[in-house]
Amino acid sequence: MMKMYSEADVDSSSLAAKQVTILGYGSQGRAHALNLRDSGFDVVVGLRRDGASWAKAEADGLRVMEPAAAVENASIIAFLTPDMVQRQLYESVQTQIPQGAALLFAHGFAIHFKLIEPRSDLDVVLIAPKGPGGLVRRQYEEGHGVPCLVAIHQDASGEALALALAYSAGIGGARAGVIETTFAEETETDLFGEQAVLCGGATELIVAGFETLVDAGYQPEVAYYEVMHEMKLIVDLLHEGGLKKMHEFISDTAAYGDMVSGPRVVDEHARKKMKEILSDIRDGTFARNWIAENEAGMPEFRRMMEADLEHPIETVGTDLRGRMDWLTG
Ligand code: NAD
Ligand code: MG
């Protein structure tokens, strides 16, 4: 049974008078730090002194320290650096983390795949906003919030859930609802979503559609509008009102074509591949490969990224987008 918490379930006193340390000041780190501060909590940001984010966090009026000093008096420590640097960061501050503190993650990767095996005196919780940091900040400022997932990996204090919910309320998430999950469910579904559907699936679908049209002799500019530019209109309808809203807004011809042709593209073969991707995530194959790629200095990552960005759809797209001054880049 799905369990969802709202602001009425939150006892913010569990965070009051406690220092919250945010490690990292990127997409999520900046949003969490500013929202928690504006909610009245005592926030410290932990960053490398030579890093690019230090000046930014200071300019935002936050207290900034090196990671080891930042965790020294913390009751709750949020690991909001890239997943792949969390292990080394934990190891470097481990001896400074006070007895009985709580570690908080916005994605379960490092804990679920055992890159970090936290001391047994620590609470280990997850508050994963279902949206990028910019949105987490903007929704908060407008009086709303981005929904979150909550999970408890280790409950040393017996107060881990109360603490996690207080944090989720501090960043605005409890206004929109906080769904209970596990580190395993959050990590596996998040990785699957971004690989098979959101990032990997959607972009390959766009590029394959573009290549199909261009190979058949159609103009690349026309192909670009059809398969890339118009994607946003459809995604906005889905986001706002699901399949029903999309069907209300598209033509009958588009709806008929959707229903007869969609399943021909995403067919049994594609579903079988989705199951393989999920299985690679669940048995740790993907995590092992990604960790090895990091350790090797990311040569494949860079090669594939270059190939992505050199695709003709990018050349055509850059040119066409430059002519649409209403697009905010
Ligand atoms: P990011 O790449 O935007 O920011 C990383 C920050 O960490 C930067 O401020 C960088 O300077 C800092 N940093 C890097 N190495 C460091 C080190 N050794 N010591 C201290 N600071 C260091 O990261 P992000 O996208 O906000 O991701 C943070 C966490 O949030 C990840 O676990 C990610 O999976 C999760 N998450 C991200 C999103 C998203 O939309 N970006 C959504 C949900 C969850
Ligand atoms: Mg995600």
CA of 258 to the centre of ligand 2 (A): 27
Query: What pLDDT score does 254 carry?
Result: 97
Distance 65 CA to ligand 1 centre (A): 17
Atom of ligand 1 nearest to the CA of 29: 26
Collect all residues with Cβ–Cβ distance below 8 Å to 278 and sequence separation of at least 6.
188, 192, 196
Give the Å distance between the CA of 214 and the centre of ligand 2.
Answer: 32
pLDDT, residue 329, reads 59
* pLDDT higher than threshold 80 for residue 309: yes
DSSP at 85: G
Calculate how far, in angstroms, residue 255's C-alpha sits from the geometric centre of ligand 1.
Answer: 40
What angle do helix axes 183-192 and 268-282 make, rounded to 10 degrees?
140
- Determine the average pLDDT of the residues in 293-308: 97
SS3 percent helix, strand, coil of the chain, rounded to 5, is 60, 10, 30
Write down the pLDDT at residue 12: 87
Proximal ligand: closest to the CA of 198: 2
Average of per-residue pLDDT across 128-141 = 97
The ligand 1 atom at the shortest distance from the C-alpha of residue 88 is 18
Q: Of 110, 63, 64, whose CA–CA distance to 91 is shortest?
A: 110
Look at residue 302 and tell me whether its pLDDT is greater than 70.
Answer: yes
Tell me which ligand sits closest to the C-alpha of residue 115. 1
Position 16 scores a pLDDT of 85
Instruction: Kindly give the distance from the C-alpha atom of residue 190 to the centroid of ligand 2, in angstroms, as a whole number.
Output: 5
What pLDDT is stored for residue 275 in this prediction? Answer: 98
Residue positions counted in the chain: 329
What pLDDT was estimated at residue 58? 97
Residue 76 contacts by C-beta under 8 Å, 6 or more apart in sequence? 15, 18, 19, 20, 21, 101, 102, 103, 104, 163, 167
pLDDT at 127: 98
Residue nearest to atom 34 of ligand 1 (CA): 107
Please check the confidence at residue 144 and state whether its pLDDT lies above 70.
yes
Would you name the residues annotated as active-site residues? Answer: 107
Query: Ligand 1: which atom is nearest the Cα of residue 89?
Result: 18
Compute the C-alpha angle 102/103/106, nearest 5°. Answer: 135
What confidence tens digit (pLDDT) does each residue in 4-55 have?
999 999 998 888 889 999 999 999 999 999 999 999 999 999 999 999 999 9
Give the sheet arrangement for strand 19-23, strand by strand: 4-5, 178-180, 148-154, 123-129, 102-105, 76-79, 19-23, 42-46, 63-65
Band of pLDDT at residue 327, cut at 50, 70 and 90: confident
Q: If pLDDT is split at 50, 70 and 90, which confidence band does 198 have?
A: very high
Q: Looking at residue 326, what is its pLDDT?
A: 86
Reported as a single tens digit per residue, the pLDDT across 87-127 is 999 999 999 999 999 999 999 999 999 999 999 999 999 99
Averaged confidence pLDDT in the chain: 97
For ligand 1, atom 20, the nearest C-alpha belongs to 47
Q: Which alpha helices (H) appear in 16-104, and where do they start and end?
A: 27-38, 53-59, 67-71, 86-93
Split at pLDDT 50, 70, 90, the class of 65 is very high
First-to-last alpha carbon distance for the chain, in angstroms, is 41
Q: For residue 193, give the ligand nearest its CA.
A: 2
Q: Which atom of ligand 1 is nearest to the CA of 81?
A: 7
State residue 284's pLDDT score.
98
- Ligand 1 residue neighbourhood (C-beta within 6 Å): 23-29, 47-48, 51, 53, 67, 80-83, 85, 89, 106-107, 128-129, 132-133
H runs (alpha helix) in 149-267:
160-170, 183-192, 200-215, 220-224, 231-249, 252-265
State the Cα–Cα distance between residues 202 and 196, nearest whole angstrom.
Answer: 8
HEC sequence for 131-150: CCHHHHHHHHHCCCCCCEEE
Nearest protein Cα to ligand 1, atom 38: 132
Mean pLDDT of 133-159: 98
Q: Is the pLDDT of residue 328 over 80?
A: no
